[in-house]
Chain A
Amino acid sequence: MGGPSAGVQTETGFPLTALVGFGGKLRDTARDAARLWRGLTGEDAYDKYRAHFEASHRGDSDARSLPGSGGEALMTEREFWRDQSDRQDHNPQGRCC
């Protein structure tokens, strides 16, 4: 269970992880598949944002409590998804024919 990234992945709640029980390689494959699936659906957007935020505030004593320290505070999951759709509102993406 090494690395900060593993924590993010096990929080998926994705049913594929339920299939995992008999160890080793299969678990890794299932976890990879779940991670890819979450990426494909875009479901991992908040995790990516949070990972980025935490990485870029590494060394701050507590990023969350320092809204005034030259940067924005970490958005909650709900705030993030609202912000994401607001950004889509102002920056529409074409869909091809």
Chain B
Amino acid sequence: MSSLSGTPPTPREDPVVVQDPALPPVSLDPAVLDSESRTWTPAKIALWAAIALLGGVAWVMIAVVRGETVNAIWFVFASVCTYFIAYRFYSKFIEKHLIRPNDNRATPAEYKADGKDFAVTDRRVLYGHHFAAIAGAGPLVGPVLAAQMGYLPGTIWIIIGVILAGAVQDYLILFFSMRRGGRSLGQMARDELGVVGGTAALIATLTIMVIIVAILALVVVNALAESPWGVFSVSMTIPIALLMGCYLRFLRPGKVTEVSIIGFVLLIAAIVGGGVIAETEWGVALFTVDKVPLAIGIIIYGFIAAVLPVWLLLAPRDYLSTFMKVGTIIMLAVAIIIVRPEITVPAVSEFARTGTGPVVAGSLFPFLFVTIACGALSGFHALIASGTTPKLVEKERQTRFIGYGGMLMESFVAIMALVAALSIDRGIYFAMNASAAATGGTVEGAVAFVNGLGMTGVNLTPEMLTQTAANVGEESIVSRTGGAPTLAVGLANIMQQFIGGSGMMAFWYHFAIMFEALFILTAVDAGTRVARFMLQDSLGNFIPRFKDTSWRVGAWVTTAIMVAAWGAVLIMGVTDPLGGINTLFPLFGIANQLLAAIALAVCLAIVAKRGLFKYLWIVALPLGFAAVVTITASFLKIFSSVPAVGYFAQNAAFRAALDAGETSFGTAATEEAMRAVVRNTMVQGVLSILFVSLAIIVITTAILATIRAWRTRSNSSNEDTAVPSRRYAPAGFLPTRAEKELEATWAALPPESKPKRGSH
């Protein structure tokens, strides 16, 4: 124990855990492990050289070669090869130096095993569960909106962002939570950052959740408004889920595959039926719903869904949505590889520089990095990675595959969404994504607006818009903002070349809308429920009765508060005279990235307390970047004098116009609309201030904790006590040779001498 100042503290040594000598080894010998990863056979060298070469060529094709078009297959190669290299080299580097897993230690799934919440789960199964929980509408919507800046900025950020930031965050949080018995992000923040940092993190999480749920709901409203087909088929998911819930509860409990197949068949029937009904007069009359009533409908639905028992609506719909999610993603990947669409979008568009793009306002830095949150770096994942997953991990070394690897897969989903959005005609893209305030919501208005943007190579005709609308079975596709309809057109366009031809395009379009609506609605209920429990827990500090989550009144009151909060933001979004998505989406991205900054700040403090200062940069790098991006973006939103960017600048401009007695201003046609803008921009501005202040508090407390750890040469930790493990399983998707041998030793044990275990 040296006391010289300036020398770094010694890293914390892992407690020695002695394993049961009667059992085969519960971990691979470190020497064997090391030699396995260091031995480079010619075949291995050739394989990695080929991956590097293919990836390099693909990057050259998309980033350097400037032809008329670029083929989508290069995006697939560039991303997949980079993921493999990052997974093999960078995540292993992090594992070796920062994470330092120890397979001699039992995971919570083993030492807290109850066969229910804590249960050892096969690593490949858990990878699937974890991926299904983290991947949602975010990685699909963000890249679509960011496509206005060209294909290159989004592609680079999604791929580089995930390997250096997003996957690192997910991996670290998963591991640290697992070492703490599956503690939540909020609890870890309190443990590591103290009361101030912990409370700020909790408030931030709660408000961020409200914003995220509201904007996801806004995406659904925008996709379904004035679409009788979409409204019919998506609302049919409710009776389908109820039916599935009752089937599982009363008829055949636990028959998940069976009920999912029944649900899936009914779902397809609902999509096909929607097409028939949208052709009939009564169908159009009944299912054409405006944005505001639709938003109110979703708010009422959100409340009911969050107070109903889980088995009735949420759990069965979750099965459906997972089924659809995984199926559609695989289908899209296969279709992109087979169809290989040509992309004509410029690498970097003029909007990246000028920041005047009609889809989302703001220039590349920092707004690209908040528009694409999920897929590159998503703070929301920290809530999942510190929730269910750490309670199910079988062996410590598997966290790299599940945490880091799971996020790479989500990033790949984002790349495919980007490709789908890029594959549609650029004129149509802007007609769909410019707000109704800009296009007037008419074909003529959209054509005039898009052609007036002066983009080279874009020549939109009215026929292109009406033809596309007819192909996808919609009345109009003008100003269908929010990303989901654009992605649906892109997906339908690719899928119809793969299966069914143009006659199937309307089906594929509504299939895509359904698929997005399904998991957005699941996220809305689940988000409301989680937020309600957090609120109950916090209120319980003042009124103890609220802690009792089975108290009906408490549950209803807190649910109502949470629904009212996101409902208000949602209504603000749908009635916004400035367009809704383009003003609110940056807030969504900022909120999500701030949560990431909070999660990384917690990781920073933990790493510092473990004494691993030499490798602190692994966390500090993404934390610094997320902090700079979000704080800059927030400050621009708060202080910018450009009305399209700054909330208060917009607010001042409209107030000045009102004071001058004007009755219309900019895109607001009436005095009432002008007042709405004044109100909305004030709310959005105040929320920005709140988020950025909370994030700055959390980051500051984390830096203070880090400095304190350095000064005191801390090598403490809040980990659970180490317990020796009594089981073995390989770490990655495929076992290595040494892992196979050890696995075989375990398999050969006679059943009676195997230690008691929770599964297979």
Contacts and interface: CB of A to CB of B under 8 A. Distances in A.
B315 A51 contact: no
B315 A88 contact: yes
B304 to A, nearest CB: 15
Interface stretch (B65-73, B120-128, B193-201): B120-128
B92 to A, nearest CB: 25
Interface in B503-543: 519, 522-523, 526-527, 529-530, 532-533
Given A8-B760, A85-B310, A89-B309, A95 B115 contact: no
A93 B388 contact: yes
Interface stretch (B97-105, B254-262, B327-335, B355-363): B254-262
Contacts of A80: 253-254
Interface string B400-432: 000000000000000000000000000000000
Main secondary structure of the interface of B (DSSP, over half): helix
A36 interface: yes
Given A2-B751, A52-B113, A95 B254 contact: no
Interface stretch (A20-28, A42-50, A62-70): A42-50
A71 to B, nearest CB: 11
A3 B256 contact: no
B523 A55 contact: no
B133 A95 contact: yes
B122 A36 contact: yes
Interface in B424-454: none
A43 B125 contact: no
B526 A95 contact: yes
Contacts of A14: 257
Interface in B183-220: 212, 216
Given A94-B380, A94-B384, A95-B136, A55 B757 contact: yes
Interface size class of A (residues with CB under 8 A): 35 or more
B224 interface: no
Interface string A75-97: 00110111111011111111111
Contacts of B592: 97
A4 B121 CA distance: 17
A80 to B, nearest CB: 8
B256 A42 contact: yes
Contacts of A56: 113, 115, 756
Contacts of B456: none
Given A42-B256, A52-B114, A96 B122 contact: no
B751 A43 contact: no
Interface residues of B, number: 61
A48 B121 CA distance: 9
Contacts of B113: 52, 56
Given A49-B115, A90-B549, A40 B254 contact: no
B472 interface: no
B168 to A, nearest CB: 17
Given A36-B124, A39-B125, A94 B530 contact: yes
A42 B530 CA distance: 21
B260 A41 contact: yes
Contact of A92 (B129, B530, B758): B530
A88 B549 CA distance: 12
A52 B135 contact: no
A88 to B, nearest CB: 4
Contacts of A43: 254-257
Interface string B319-355: 1000000000000000000000000000000000000
B137 A52 contact: no
B309 A93 contact: no
Contacts of B374: 96-97
A96 B136 contact: yes
A30 to B, nearest CB: 15
B129 A97 contact: no
Interface in B135-151: 135-138
A92 B526 contact: yes
B117 interface: yes
B106 interface: no
Contacts of A44: 759
Contacts of B136: 95-97
- Select the residue from A39, A40, A43 with max chain B CB neighbours within 10 A: A40
A88 B380 contact: no
Given A93-B530, A96-B384, A85 B257 contact: no
Contacts of A58: 756
Contact of B117 (A5, A81, A85, A91): A91
Given A48-B119, A93-B530, A55 B756 contact: yes
Contacts of B526: 92-95
B756 A84 contact: no
Contacts of B125: 36, 39-40
Contact of B115 (A5, A36, A51, A85): A51
A41 B751 contact: no
B2 to A, nearest CB: 45
- Select the residue from B115, B256, B318, B533 with max chain A CB neighbours within 10 A: B115
B387 interface: yes
B253 A78 contact: yes
B254 A81 contact: yes
Given A4-B751, A52-B115, A89 B310 contact: yes
A97 B760 contact: no
Contacts of A4: 751
Contacts of A48: 115, 119, 758-759
Contacts of A97: 136-138, 212, 216, 374, 378, 380, 523, 592
A91 to B, nearest CB: 7
A64 B137 CA distance: 46
B136 to A, nearest CB: 5
Contacts of B124: 36, 39
Nearest to B216: A97
A52 to B, nearest CB: 3
Contacts of A96: 133-136, 138, 374, 378, 380-381, 383-384, 523
Nearest to B323: A41
B248 interface: yes
A38 B257 CA distance: 8
B527 A35 contact: no
Contacts of A81: 248-249, 253-254
B311 interface: yes
Contacts of A45: 116, 254
Given A87-B117, A88-B311, A97-B592, 19 more contacts: A8-B760, A36-B122, A39-B122, A39-B124, A40-B125, A47-B759, A48-B115, A51-B757, A56-B756, A77-B253, A81-B248, A82-B253, A93-B133, A94-B133, A94-B384, A96-B133, A96-B380, A97-B136, A97-B380
22 contacts: A4-B751, A36-B122, A41-B257, A41-B260, A45-B116, A49-B119, A51-B115, A52-B119, A52-B757, A53-B115, A56-B113, A77-B253, A85-B309, A85-B310, A87-B117, A89-B309, A92-B310, A94-B383, A95-B526, A96-B133, A97-B137, A97-B212
- What 10 A-B pairs are tightest by C-beta distance, nearest first? A52-B115, A39-B125, A55-B756, A97-B138, A85-B311, A92-B529, A52-B758, A81-B253, A49-B115, A43-B256
Interface of A: 2-5, 8-9, 14, 35-53, 55-56, 58, 77-78, 80-85, 87-97
Interface of B: 113-117, 119, 121-122, 124-125, 128-129, 133-138, 212, 216, 248-249, 253-257, 260, 309-311, 314-315, 318-319, 374, 378, 380-381, 383-384, 387-388, 519, 522-523, 526-527, 529-530, 532-533, 549-550, 592, 751, 756-760
